[in-house]
Amino acid sequence: MGARISRSRWLAYASVVAALTITVAGSDQAQARAKSKRDHARPRAIHGPNYHPPYAAIVVDDKSGLVLHEASADEPRHPASLTKIMTLYLLFEQLEAGKLKLDTPLPVTRKASLQNPTKLGLKADQTIKVEDAILGLVTKSANDAAVVVGESIAGSEEEFAALMTLKARALGMSGTTYVNASGLPAEAQITTARDQALLGRAIQHRFPAYYQYFATASFRYKGAEMRNHNNLLGRVKGVDGIKTGYTVASGYNLTSSVRRDEKHIVAVVLGGTSNGARDARMRQLIEEHIVRGSTVRTAPIVAEVHDPAQQESPRVPAVAPAAPKAAATAMGDSEAAAAEAKADAVPIPRPRMSAAKPVANPPTLAASAKAVRTPRVTAKASTPSPLPSAYTLSSAPVERRAGPSSY
């Protein structure tokens, strides 16, 4: 009897120990899972401390046409996904001409579906409506949607890039060459901060209604919600667009439009070392220079020349009345410590109001693009000088931890 009781007590004791062991083990596993989640959620640096893409910036008062600040504004840079501003400019042109409608389905090719992220995940032989493509471009910065737009308008992305460059010349963007519709890495695809400010102004002047898409904070497509990469929307007073961009070679880019107290400026930052650094720099530029903006329009709106292929001489820039130069202010970051705030007139093509031309067949577009005479640079010198036919970008080696994504 005593032996049976002892054995029963021993079994009960063993059961309690086993239960405690299981509980402790489960607790340890739960804590390990929680730690793993915390570690996974912790942001990690994409680039090392030696990542310093070439910096450039400009702030333009839209109403007076004056440059309120510039730093390396005419130096060649890679646009990354700022490229999509021109892609959308040409798409808006098609909508304005009635060649496309917002609900027009655009076919998705295999090439479009195979684009690198960021993208919507479009599949070959599907279609996407024009409006969904627009929203995918301005929020997600979808590279697959950009190729769909280009191929639908010009037949191929290569022919569309030729049309984009032709349009850049028509707007006076003499330092810009496009080779694709998305902004994915391409050595020959270059621009300048001044050209991007000009494009940022032009797309608003030409398409005020369609431009409002750039203020879209989020977009839901096929059940997935996509938030705009532009972190200044809704966080900085008056910001209504426009576009972010990033590749390893370009750094973190941003073109911003700000309307505040009847003033309107367009600012461009190229070559930020991170999203946060770029956004902080843009905030600083906005707050420092919006106060100097004009409340009355004295400069003409940005418009295209009638036929850039037939221009035999440089266009005469429409220059706003000179404004007093403001004293230089501290930049607050090492990337632009040597630059000074200026108030120089922005070269703007003399406006020529004409109806939009129908888009020609792709071969014609390519031929026209090749026939474009390279405009001469008038922004910095009184005597025009030819623009180099190609730029070579060079920068210090960077630690590459990210793919070729453009957004």
* From 81, 152, 182, 406, the catalytic residue: 81
Catalytic residue among 63, 64, 72, 84: 84
The β-bridge relationship of strands 66-71 and 56-61 is antiparallel
CA angle centred on 156, ends 155 and 158, rounded to 5°: 140
Q: Can 81 be counted among the known catalytic residues?
A: yes
For residue 36, give the DSSP letter: H
154, two tokens: 């010009």
Amino acid making up residue 275:
N
Spatial separation of the C-alpha atoms in residues 68 and 119, rounded to whole Å: 36
Tell the residue number behind the tokens 């005597």, with chain if given. 383
Considering only CA atoms, which of 143, 155, 335 is closest in space to residue 245?
143
H or E, element range at 89: helix 83-96
| Separation of alpha carbons 50 and 111, rounded Å | 35
342 is catalytic: no
- 73 burial via Cβ count (<10 Å: 0-12, 13-18, 19+): buried
Per the residue annotation, which of 72, 113, 141, 256 is the catalytic one? Answer: 141
Judge whether 247 and 185 are in contact, CB under 8 Å.
Answer: yes
CB-based contacts of 381: which residues, under 8 Å, 6+ apart? none
Alpha helices (H) in 178-260, listed in sequence order = 193-206, 208-211
Residue 406 a catalytic site member = no
Q: What are phi and psi of 236, to 5 degrees?
A: -120, 125
Report yes or no: 251 and 54 within 8 Å, Cβ to Cβ. Answer: yes
Angle at 168 between CA 211 and CA 304, to 5 degrees: 70
Active site residues per annotation: 81, 84, 141
